Structure 1
Amino acid sequence: MSLTSTPVIVPADRLREIVRTIFSAAGSSEREAGLVADHLVGANLRGHDSHGVSMIPAYVANALDGSLVLNQALSVAFDSGALIICDGGVGIGQVMAHDAIEAGIERAAGTGACIVGLRNSHHIGRIGHWAEQCAAAGLVSIHFVNVVSTPAVAPFGGTKARVGTNPFAVGIPRTDMPPVVVDFATSRLAAGKVHVAFNQGVSIPEGALLDADGHPTTDPSALFSDPPGALLPFGEHKGWGLSVACELLGAALIGGKTQSGPKQGNAIVNSMLSILVSPDRLGTRANLDDETNAFVSWVRSEADRASQILMPGDPERETKRWREANGIPIDARTWQEIEAAAESVGVPRLA
């Protein structure tokens, strides 16, 4: 099979089973393997293949070399009631973030608001997942995240990678309606999306990537060359400013490490500052619903284009409906990498 041939199509339930099997074989508990499977496959279902099962090879490799600690227990470093700082101990991020956010949800439900710091976690995946977790509990949430790994993004005005893709997310619940979920990297493309394009053998959009000499390119391999190229911030100085805020608030404020030099190891380390607010405790739930609905109706009121005007989260829900019905496409190269990762922990070749 060539690396650019027809993708493998896998039903979501089967893909979850595969992920659980791989991580169980690697040493994860049943709960950990299940949370990882739900998160990764959930990202694929929503069209974010960069944060889905394509992460399995990196996670397994890091678990095998000890830079990712399986079955780690989240520890609480500071707790003053409405302010919690947790340390992930480079445990698997899909568990560390889930448990930290659950702690914040419980506190915010009681006090009206909670600030949750999660530091030193292995890769926590798609940040919109955590905004959705809060929205499902009826909470508004804001999330600032930094990345300590291989620098991938140049600062505004620069040409060399110095920081990670530093994502930002907001979740806004709506009664009896899907939530508004804003979730994006502060680079023009997430590094994982460039990797997916590389595996698929396709070009990336113009204006997102520089090669090692600082020249614009649409060749995704430039990001992974030696020496590597660099992604650019979205929105020029605006995206760069938000990236700086994610770096310093997401990590430095809560005792985490910033990306202050070249990659030091194989781990992909995230820290995240999350602000959770209960509209019910504020007494503004009805107003939030009414004004959100009025706002959405207004922005979609251009009748001949209403169906083309999307709210944040709409594309993910549409993709999820399609992929639940038709299966999840995985490019051939990524599937081969997943098979190799499975074999490295003793799982026979995947069907």
Structure 2
Amino acid sequence: MAMVDAARLEALVAAIFERAGCAPDEAGRIGHYLTEANLTGHDSHGVARVPRYVDWLREGRVLAGKEVTAVVDTPAVTVLDGHYGFGQTVGPQAVRIGIDKAKANGLAAVALRHAGHLGRIGDFAEMAAAEGLVSIHFVNVVGSILVAPFGGVDRRLSTAPYCVSVPLEGRPPLLLDFATSLVAEGKVLVASLGGKPVPPDALISPDGAISGDPAVLYGPYPEGPGPRDPMMGPGAIRAFGEHKGSGLAFMCEILGGALTGAGTTGPDKRFCNGMMSIYINPKVLDPDGFFPTEAAAYVAYYKSAQPVAAGGEVLVPGEAEARAKAKKLKDGVPLSDGAWDSIAATARELGIGDNVIGAALRAG
């Protein structure tokens, strides 16, 4: 297990993408958002994806230096094309437009199509919450057929993330952010690199047998930091929550994919994210100021439930992420040896010296 300093990890990832052809500001954003995912405990959307992102850039599947353009633009509704640019660039641009419209009008809907991998959607929800806005996000992954629907074994869904964030006065926002698959594909990737195993029922084989073996998704793969292709395995990831998770994933495909114009997931489609986002200004919706007091009271009531285990605690959405970030900023970001080796190998391929790579590691 490698323990890496968060700030130096962010700088190393930024250096990798600058060497790979991104402008310094874009490389910095990629470094920031990928590291932030690890800090908040979403390793599946974090720095383990660096080699894959670099490969996508080389292959032209994601493009550097792109900005969103408006396909439809009204005071409350915008449809944006991300032109297959890095999600860490076009994603924040789309969110900024949603924030500005919701502040002006009380409500906004922003449809983003053709975005590169957006990463952790919670980053964008937190961006809106920091400006006092509620936000809801339905996301799909076009061209990424990974998940079997409830009652089936064939892949028909993407991991289809769903996210909601609610600002609260005097405390971090409430944040619900998850893939509608039982685990994100990135968690299977992390497990394949020697990180935390996935649950033993996370994957399903063509014969209906459930499994936690990453080879069900990737097929045979090399030891160490070699490539992983989720399209090469015979099986699929399972949807969480049986019919409920499968149904929510289906709606993410319809809203995030079909409604935005990105397209639903399926064979022979170019990889991209679609994101349908709704932004609400509580100050417009709630002129009497009822919401902040009632929400805070409910948080306290919810957390007062007796824990299952002695010494345990009931957490509201977002608390685990906030605590994980505080701990990792203090102690360092833990990465499996496989994940760290794959990042280091990519850095070396791009001409970054071992002195720079090694500087990110914490002693001991």
TM-score (norm 2): 0.90
Letter in 2 for 1:230: A
Q: CA RMSD in A?
A: 1.7
Aligned counterparts of 2:329 and 2:342: Cα–Cα separation in 1 = 23
Offset from partner CA, 1:112-135 (integer Å, 9 cap, x none): 111011100010001111111110
Does residue 1:134 correspond to 2:134, yes or no? no
Does residue 1:181 correspond to 2:175, yes or no? yes
How far off its partner does 1:285 sit? 7.6
Offset from partner CA, 1:299-327 (integer Å, 9 cap, x none): 12235669510001111111111101100
Offset from partner CA, 1:266-324 (integer Å, 9 cap, x none): xx410000000001122348322111111111112235669510001111111111101
Letter in 1 for 2:256: G
Aligned to 1:34: 28
Match 1:277 to one of 275, 280, 284? 280
Aligned to 1:234: 240
What is the DSSP-based 3-state SS (H/G/I as helix, E as strand, rest coil) of the residue aligned with 2:147? Answer: coil
Aligned counterparts of 1:127 and 1:24: Cα–Cα separation in 2 = 23
- Aligned residue pairs: how many? 342
Letter in 2 for 1:134: A
Does residue 1:19 correspond to 2:19, yes or no? no
Does residue 1:77 correspond to 2:71, yes or no? yes
Aligned counterparts of 1:227 and 1:219: Cα–Cα separation in 2 = 11
Aligned to 2:151: 157
Letter in 2 for 1:75: T
Aligned to 1:211: 205
TM-score (norm 1): 0.93
Does residue 1:250 correspond to 2:256, yes or no? yes
Amino-acid identity (%): 40
Match 1:319 to one of 318, 324, 332? 324
Aligned to 1:298: 301
Aligned counterparts of 2:288 and 2:198: Cα–Cα separation in 1 = 42
Letter in 1 for 2:239: P
Aligned counterparts of 1:39 and 1:68: Cα–Cα separation in 2 = 16
Match 1:286 to one of 289, 306, 323? 289
2:147/2:157 contact within 8 Å kept:
yes
Structure 2: where are the runs of 5+ without partners? 220-231, 359-364
Aligned counterparts of 2:173 and 2:314: Cα–Cα separation in 1 = 16
Does residue 1:339 correspond to 2:334, yes or no? no
Letter in 2 for 1:241: G
What is the DSSP-based 3-state SS (H/G/I as helix, E as strand, rest coil) of the residue aligned with 1:205? Answer: coil
- Pair 172,98 (structure 1): closer, same or farther in 2 beyond 3 Å: same
How far off its partner does 1:204 sit? 2.1
After superposing on structure 2, the runs of 4+ consecutive aligned residues of structure 1 that deviate more than 4 Å are 303-307
2:262/2:272 contact within 8 Å kept:
no
1:22-171 paired onto structure 2 within 5 Å: 22-171=16-165
